Chains A and B, each alone.
Chain A
């Protein structure tokens, strides 16, 4: 019961913040090279910074025990690169397509369908051996047998290193911001900083609540969707976990936020585009499960825990998104000119 209540609670908050803040990592990475627009990228950095400080303090205080994902470089590289390509095709990251389902966007619903389907087949179906072999063959653990982390490699305490990194980031950020005037004086939405801080706070809140329900990890998306699929296929035996309720909460939160701002409406792109977002979703589901996390599990939740696997996955997601954006959008534009 606890998993249902706190999972839904965090999910509704997350969905609300995502919808009103227009948070999407696909846009964040793609727009930086396609539109030279860094607003959402700054939002992602702000959220990561807030989580880094929050996790560091909570870990030191004993409120959470960080649980970094393993480093399996082959699976991280391949899976996350495929995920990055997939999210460009799908028109949204794992969290983006989930909250837009609540906005009534049918193209995002077909993407979610693809994500859940391929995620299920990679986690528990015919692609499972491929994923398991790739992960096993390329796993590198620390000397203590634990997952490779930045603090582990440097032989440092997690909280100390996290706070030092946060401090460095703030100082670097301050000087970059000082050196160039903000290009966007009038932001009609929540503003990148507010959105980033709120996303980070939801991530901080998620960690202890999820751990209390027996899942020691902050936010994620893909595994939650797989849990929903398993429940549908085998509804009498499996009970849905915290993350699945959280994912359902995101749709509810996105729906409520869209209703309040009068933005809810069922709207569908052309059938061929829906096929494209479905295929994008398939690639995302395969990629996320192979790599051990999507843009939320690895990037948003794993990087602040200083997991080396999550950092590599994050880089690979960005590279995959850039490769796909180049082929899909930038190359055709060049040919036009």
Chain B
């Protein structure tokens, strides 16, 4: 568990493909540089796909943690495109 305190939390559990990715990206777009987004998700494909697409937008993945079953917690530092 990281010491970083998230600025904002996004819960996309139960969402179908590709909403976990899309909602994460749109939320990050609206955040200031350096702010941290916590994403809660339970869709395994997105757990692998979000990290590889973050970089293209300049965001930084801080960590991914598997909680209970498919539930994951992801911490992302926004690049600040706003």
Contacts and interface: CB of A to CB of B under 8 A. Distances in A.
Interface of A: 19, 22, 24, 26-27, 30-31, 34-37, 39, 91-92, 103, 105, 107, 183-184, 186-189, 258, 261-265, 267-270, 273, 277, 329, 333, 336
Interface string B38-82: 000010110111011100100000001010011100000000000
Given A24-B17, A91-B16, A183-B56, A189 B70 contact: no
Contacts of A268: 14
Among B22, B42, B70, chain A packs the most CB atoms within 10 A around the CB of B70
A187 B48 CA distance: 8
A184 B17 contact: no
A37 B49 contact: yes
A311 to B, nearest CB: 26
Interface in B24-50: 26, 42, 44-45, 47-49
A265 B22 contact: no
Contacts of B71: 265
A278 B41 CA distance: 22
A92 B53 CA distance: 20
Nearest to A336: B26
Given A188-B51, A273-B15, 11 more contacts: A35-B53, A37-B49, A91-B18, A184-B52, A262-B66, A264-B69, A265-B42, A265-B71, A269-B16, A329-B18, A329-B22
A273 B45 CA distance: 18
B70 to A, nearest CB: 4
Contacts of B66: 262
10 contacts: A30-B18, A35-B21, A36-B56, A37-B52, A37-B53, A92-B17, A262-B69, A265-B69, A267-B14, A268-B14
B45 A267 contact: no
Given A24-B45, A184-B52, A189-B48, A267 B70 contact: yes
Contacts of B69: 262-265
B48 A91 contact: no
A277 B17 contact: no
B13 interface: yes
Contacts of A188: 47-48, 51, 64
A268 B69 CA distance: 14
A262 B71 CA distance: 10
A27 B17 contact: yes
B36 to A, nearest CB: 20
Contacts of A35: 18, 21, 49, 53
Nearest to A89: B16
A36 B56 CA distance: 9
A315 B69 CA distance: 37
A189 B49 CA distance: 9
Contact of B14 (A30, A39, A186, A269): A269
Contacts of B26: 333, 336
A183 B22 CA distance: 20
